[in-house]
Amino acid sequence: MTPKNILLSIVGPTASGKSDLALKLAAYFKTSIISADSRQFYRELNAGTAKPTKEELKRIPHYFINSHAITEEFNVGNFEKSALGLLNKLFKEHEILIMVGGSGLFCKAVWEGLDELPIIDKGLRSVINEEVSKNGLDPLLAELSKNDPVYFNEVDKQNPMRIKRAIEVIRSTGHPFSSFHGKAKVPRPFENLKIGIYIDRKVLYQNIDLRMEQMIKKGLFEEVKSLISHQHLNALKTLGYTEVFEYYKGKYDHKETIRLLKRNSRRYAKRQLTWFQKDPEIKWVDPNEGWDRILDQIEQQLNT
């Protein structure tokens, strides 16, 4: 018999088929889906975030989809607290819940908690923000590469918040940001079963290019244009939006912007894979094996 309180997480790179598998599993187990995609929280971000369709949202209960406005601060710590509270409630109704996402840090927060980081002096934070305002992120990236090559190879280079946070810690402590990672796990009142989707790199990149073309057809450029007055918000400093903001500033032409969108999406997928492949608890499945075989593998894991 399946033990109670299992969080079945479906993880992997963008455009690998996570959402499709999560939907099938949620229907099979008659349960709900918790999204751990840090871009799908925001109601205003649609064309560039590959959210479930209205029909899918109606068919299967989803949480943390369109849950916040871009003007609201909703970081990984907020997500951890909210998700754990929600899981506590939903586990009273379901033995199994599905979590799906490609944001590794958000998944980790739910699985085992966040690493404790030193308190940062607000004055240092202001100094770093001023440096970015004057010189952009490149000098900080160079500093990060020199002082913490491990985290430099992992971090999303288009995420200013994470880059600035790492530099804050490095300057405050004199130690690499990555040295604060991997501390003791926080016990959870549920079991974790982590399933990763493995997909051939060439096929994955083809999927990414196709998805980006579909996003453009669905109005990505028009959506970004409507958000120009909000481009300073952290929620909009993200893949698919920063590139198009640069297009509207005249930095790139349309063709070059599309090339960058595809290239940066592929690079992001590579970083996602690197993150998840470091977790020995993730059991990898190949979507080419078919639904029945994947379900069989998952049920074997559930019953071990």
Q: Mind listing the pLDDT tens digit for each residue in 182-224?
A: 766 899 999 999 999 999 999 999 999 999 999 999 999 999 9
Contacts of 1 (CB under 8 A, 6+ apart): 303
Checking if the pLDDT of 264 tops 80, the result is yes
* 260, 135: one domain: no
Of the chain, the percentage scoring pLDDT greater than 90 comes to 80
**Average pLDDT, stretch 10-25?**
97
Q: Which domain holds residue 171?
A: 122-180
Predicted local distance difference test score (pLDDT) of residue 118: 79
* 149, 209: one domain: no
Question: What size, in residues, is the chain?
Answer: 304
* 257, 136: one domain: no
Residues 90-135: pLDDT tens digits?
Answer: 999 999 999 999 999 899 999 999 887 778 888 898 899 899 989 9
Predicted local distance difference test score (pLDDT) of residue 1: 39
Domain boundary among 142, 160, 180: 180
Predicted local distance difference test score (pLDDT) of residue 157: 87
Predicted local distance difference test score (pLDDT) of residue 3: 53
The average confidence (pLDDT) of the chain is 93
* 20, 169: one domain: no
Backbone angles phi, psi at 148, to 5 degrees: -150, 70
Domain boundary among 180, 206, 229: 180
* 78, 211: one domain: yes
* 193, 74: one domain: yes
The answer to whether 276 and 270 are in contact (CB under 8 A) is: no
Evaluate whether residue 1 is within a structural domain.
no
SS3 content of the chain, % helix, strand, coil (to 5): 55, 10, 35
Contacts of 42 (CB under 8 A, 6+ apart): 49, 66, 68, 69, 70, 235
Name the pLDDT band for 173 (thresholds 50, 70, 90): confident
Predicted local distance difference test score (pLDDT) of residue 158: 79
The answer to whether 50 and 211 are in contact (CB under 8 A) is: yes
Considering its fold, how many domains does the chain have in total?
2
Domain boundary among 180, 195, 217: 180
* 70, 192: one domain: yes
